[in-house]
Chains A and B, each alone.
Chain A
Amino acid sequence: MAATFFGEVVKAPCRAGTEDQEEEEEGRRETAEDREVRRQLARKREVRLFRRQTKTSLEVSLLEKYPCSKFIIAIGNNAVAFLSSFVMNSGVWEEVGCAKLWNEWCRTTDTTHLSPAEAFCVFYHLKSSPSVLLCQCSCYVAEDQQYQWLEKVFGSCARKNMQVTLLTCRHVTDYKTSESISSLHFPFLKALKTQNFKEPPCCSLLEQPNIVHDLPAAVLSYCQVWKIPAVLYLCYTDVMKLDLITVEAFKPILSSRSLKGLVKNIPQSTEILKKLMTTNEIQSNIYT
């Protein structure tokens, strides 16, 4: 037995093995009911890839069906707003697929009627150049779903001649630095790339300890393992909601090779972004 800081008494694990161990093992043995519950939960949390127009699932992974040379992934509402205003408005994009998933972060327990904003990752390709693929992911992909997501999206596609660009945001408190946070000017952009990414990134690299989380980390790890050139542009901000200043912090990426040629009308894009912001801001009256 051991006492914790707060004075609770807990049973300390014993490596020697005691008589109690047998009892514990019995308790741990799974019943059919447990297995069924687990199966249902796994089914609920399955990542499904399908075409919204036809409502048919994709039999192969997305990149096997739509091989691409450029794959741009926006994760989080600010990154999605950036791509929507600057990239998607400068060309004709066709939706090629959508990944639907449910986890505890979704605001509904109904797994059949999920709204796009909560639980979808939508994939588009540029009509004039179908080898350019874009993903808008505004939902949260839980840890146990990230592997499924990668399998359903990347699968065993050809990994040569492909470049992946990821955009996402994190709160500035995640940024590890010896300086005081009050001396930083946020939002600011940092980059993290795989070994095979040879281009110079559009901003400084994320310093050690260069820790990244969630889906962007899963995609980057996948690209590193499969030697795919990939770069993650991470915007550290103090406003996690949709915010104009945070979205504009992504602007240096417009000069990168992956986005050059995809962005045509920057002033118009800025106007579209402002409209997007005002619709969102007006809803909340909590802060003045």
Chain B
Amino acid sequence: MASRYDRAITVFSPDGHLFQVEYAQEAVKKGSTAVGIRGTDIVVLGVEKKSVAKLQDERTVRKICALDDHVCMAFAGLTADARVVINRSRVECQSYKLTVEDPVTVEYITRFIATLKQKYTQSNGRRPFGISALIVGFDDDGIPRLYQTDPSGTYHAWKANAIGRSAKTVREFLEKNYTEDAIANDSEAIKLAIRALLEVVQSGGKNIELAIIRRHQPLKMFSAKEIELQVTEIEKEKEEAEKKKSKKTT
């Protein structure tokens, strides 16, 4: 049944599916995991780093990109599609600033990206963008925001979410562990993001990249050392928690 309705983007199947859009969502699952967390005074983006070939310059393989000083995004899916979306969003951020003399709100730029993606699900001869994005930032009112977009062009606000391979596992972890205590302060929110990624990342801290935005501060990328420190702290806390548990049972 699918084979008759899944080639052209502009054709609905009899039961209402747009197969090309659904297949684009499968392409997203081929990208490595990205997680976004909205804290009280901080927003955190964590990604699983893609392994880089020996001769490849690591700096050119980036999953977290700044769209403006106060907004950044992480994506999962087709690298080239992401590059196009990021370039257009960056231009839009500056164009908006020049026209309106205010920086974009996180919701505005998310809506821009989502509208762009939706256009490509309704045009003949084009295919949908094969990426999902997590967009984080602070608006002028100081409220932290996290939005997620997907290839169909929908966008939603989230408290915490994950995209890419093993996103389901990470989302389940977040549903269990995202509590008011867990985001009580900045370092707890950062640890939650790292713990969520450690559920699915193969080789621990050295395959994680982390970025945070604090209120009225620019994007900060964590260095490998800082991430290692966080991972060591998390492992210590885990050991202590297990020791406490075993003491209680004895």
Contact = CB atoms under 8 A, between A and B. Distances in A.
Interface of A: 185, 238-239, 244-245, 274, 278, 281-283, 285-288
Nearest to B28: A287
Contact-residue size bin, chain B (C-beta under 8 Å from the other chain)? 20 to 34
Interface of B: 26-27, 29-32, 50-53, 56, 61, 63, 75-80, 82, 165-166, 168, 202-203
A249 to B, nearest CB: 13
A287 B61 contact: no
A287 B51 contact: no
Q: Which of A244, A245, A286, A288 has the most CB of B within 10 A?
A: A288
Contacts, number: 40
12 contacts: A185-B168, A239-B30, A281-B50, A282-B51, A282-B52, A285-B61, A286-B78, A286-B80, A287-B30, A287-B77, A288-B77, A288-B82
B168 A282 contact: no
Contacts of B202: 244, 274
Given A282-B51, A282-B52, A287 B78 contact: yes
A281 B77 CA distance: 15
Nearest to B32: A288
Q: Which 10 A-B pairs have the closest CB atoms?
A: A287-B30, A288-B79, A282-B53, A287-B31, A278-B51, A282-B51, A281-B51, A288-B31, A288-B63, A288-B50
A286 B75 CA distance: 13
A286 B79 contact: yes
Contacts of A288: 31-32, 50, 61, 63, 75-77, 79, 82
B31 to A, nearest CB: 5
A163 to B, nearest CB: 34
Given A283-B53, A287-B78, A288-B32, 10 more contacts: A238-B26, A245-B166, A282-B51, A286-B78, A287-B27, A288-B61, A288-B63, A288-B75, A288-B76, A288-B77
Nearest to A285: B79
A238 B168 CA distance: 13
A238 to B, nearest CB: 6
A178 B141 CA distance: 48
Contacts of A244: 202
A244 B207 CA distance: 15
Residue from B31, B51, B52, B61 whose CB has the most chain A CB atoms within 10 Å: B51
Contacts of A282: 51-53, 56
A239 B78 CA distance: 15
Contacts of A274: 202-203
B217 to A, nearest CB: 26
Nearest to A245: B166
Contacts of A287: 27, 30-32, 77-79
B212 to A, nearest CB: 20
Nearest to B172: A185
A26 to B, nearest CB: 35
Nearest to A278: B51
A278 B53 CA distance: 9
Contacts of B76: 288
Contacts of B166: 245
Nearest to A6: B4
Contacts of B63: 288
A86 to B, nearest CB: 17
A185 to B, nearest CB: 7
Given A274-B203, A286-B79, A287-B77, A238 B29 contact: yes
A83 to B, nearest CB: 21
A281 B207 CA distance: 14
Nearest to A280: B51
Nearest to B50: A288
A78 B30 CA distance: 16
B34 to A, nearest CB: 10
Contacts of A245: 166
A174 to B, nearest CB: 13
Nearest to A239: B30
A287 B31 CA distance: 5
A77 B31 CA distance: 20
Contacts of B79: 285-288
A246 to B, nearest CB: 11
Contacts of B80: 286
Nearest to B80: A286
A283 B53 CA distance: 7
A285 B77 CA distance: 11
A168 B52 CA distance: 29
A281 B30 CA distance: 11
Contacts of A281: 50-51
B189 to A, nearest CB: 24
